[in-house]
Amino acid sequence: MSALYLHIPFCRRACYYCDFHFSTSQQTRQDVLRAMLQELIMRSHEITSPIQSIYLGGGTPSLLEYNELMMIFDQIFLLQNVLQDAEITIEVNPDDLNRDKLKQVRNSPVNRFSIGVQSFHDDDLKYMHRIHSARDAEYAIKGAQDNGFDNISVDLIYGIPTLTHEGWINNIQKLISFDVPHISAYALTVEQHTPLFHLIKRKKLNAPLDASIIRQFNNIAQILPSAGYEHYEISNFAKTGFRSRHNSSYWQGKAYVGIGPSAHSFDGKNTRRWNVSNNIRYIKGLQGESEWFETEYLSKENKLLEWVMTSLRCAEGIRRESADKFGPGQFDKFINNATQMSSHWFNADADVLRLTPSGMLMCDYITLQLLN
């Protein structure tokens, strides 16, 4: 099965922490959408099996008008075999989910919302320069549910300097009370070249504290499983039957095609490619005027590195039969290297190596140590 990602590179406002490709100017919007339709045609041969998931990310895909949304879906369904029960997700900002938008999306193929709530506290939203309010966030979730959407994912961010311990627990409990079936929780990271980086450097904003990040991750890793959520990936929690099929494709090393500026693709074997993170260059590239993507061919070592990292991120962990496909005794090498690290980081038996919540906080470090 294949997965299809579409990057909509437009936002009303720049969040301080975001390092994804986007533009707050809508000047190139129609040209970018036309180029994306062209890319769907040009690359249709790369999708050789039925599509099991479609994901509209960004940017802010909920900025799209109904006719723009349907223009994209019409092209996809014309060119590809999309499974009848395919998971079709759109990322939305809470302030976009008014009554009219909900009705429009309800009349489209979309069957899953990913709502960027981040926090139910206005001080936190102000710190991050989010455009919506805490009240907007609650209305968005309730509105989606009232309009028949039961497959809803909500994003939260922890480690925000303005977020108190009590406020974080309140955020978690609120989503439990809303009976949201999927929750993604991410640590606030300070990426270079973002406004947050420069504001912290100029001492206009406080920086996240590692102690708060660790404590708040441990909070959610304890509370959600006790409330019936499976902690199936470091940042993701789901009730039974509500894992993200699309994101699971990434973690399981399956093939996916990315359409739009900055979108990435993987053939499921050895080749990755990514489009330019520049709207004008992307448009000109689809018109045949310039280069518009780059390609990387993965070495055996890089494939092993990526596989170890993504496997450790997931609840299934590293399994002997999969590890030994990279070479005889590979799993035993991992077990031997794991014994040189803290026992609190691992749950291991004869055939599976998994991370504990404490280990998840050290995933990148552990990956490199296992491969030594």
In this structure, the chain runs to a length of 372
On whether both 212 and 344 belong to a single domain, the answer is: no
Task: Quickly state the pLDDT bin for 158 (edges 50, 70, 90).
Answer: very high
Per the rule left: phi > 0, alpha: psi between -120 and 50, beta: everything else, 221 is alpha
Q: In b/e form, how buried is each residue of 69-96, taking b as 16+ CB within 10 angstroms?
A: bbebbebbeebbebeeebbbbbbbbbbb
Query: Which residues, other chains included, contact 51 with Cβ-Cβ below 8 Å and sequence gap of 6+?
Result: 1, 2, 3, 4, 76, 80, 81, 82, 83, 86
On whether both 224 and 341 belong to a single domain, the answer is: no
Q: Stretch 349-367: mean pLDDT, rounded?
A: 95
On whether both 20 and 149 belong to a single domain, the answer is: yes
- pLDDT tens string 181-218: 999 999 999 999 999 999 999 999 999 999 999 999 99
On whether both 34 and 165 belong to a single domain, the answer is: yes
On whether both 333 and 215 belong to a single domain, the answer is: no
**The pair of three-digit structure tokens given for residue 205, joined into one six-digit string:** 């904003």
On whether both 339 and 215 belong to a single domain, the answer is: no
- pLDDT tens string 307-348: 999 999 999 999 999 999 999 999 999 999 999 999 999 998
Residue 21 falls inside a structural domain = yes
Q: 9 is in which domain, residue-wise?
A: 2-250
- Among 233, 250, 267, which residue terminates a domain? 250
On whether both 43 and 186 belong to a single domain, the answer is: yes
Residue 280 falls inside a structural domain = no
Tell me: pLDDT of 287 over 90: yes
Residue 295 falls inside a structural domain = no
Tell me: pLDDT of 117 over 90: yes
Residue 310 falls inside a structural domain = yes
On whether both 99 and 222 belong to a single domain, the answer is: yes
Residue 71 falls inside a structural domain = yes
Residue 286 falls inside a structural domain = no
What is the domain-level CATH number for residue 154? 3.20.20.70
Percent over 70 (pLDDT), the chain: 100
Task: Quickly state the pLDDT bin for 280 (edges 50, 70, 90).
Answer: very high
What is the domain-level CATH number for residue 332? 1.10.10.920
Residue 269 falls inside a structural domain = no
pLDDT of residue 349: 87
Domain count, the chain: 2
- Among 250, 268, 283, which residue terminates a domain? 250
Cβ atoms of residues 193 and 201 within 8 Å: no
Mean pLDDT of the chain: 96
pLDDT of residue 192: 94
On whether both 235 and 312 belong to a single domain, the answer is: no
On whether both 244 and 321 belong to a single domain, the answer is: no
pLDDT of residue 350: 87
On whether both 243 and 306 belong to a single domain, the answer is: no
Tell me: pLDDT of 290 over 90: no
On whether both 97 and 193 belong to a single domain, the answer is: yes
Cβ atoms of residues 118 and 124 within 8 Å: yes
pLDDT of residue 197: 97
Residue 257 falls inside a structural domain = no
β-strand partners of 242:
none
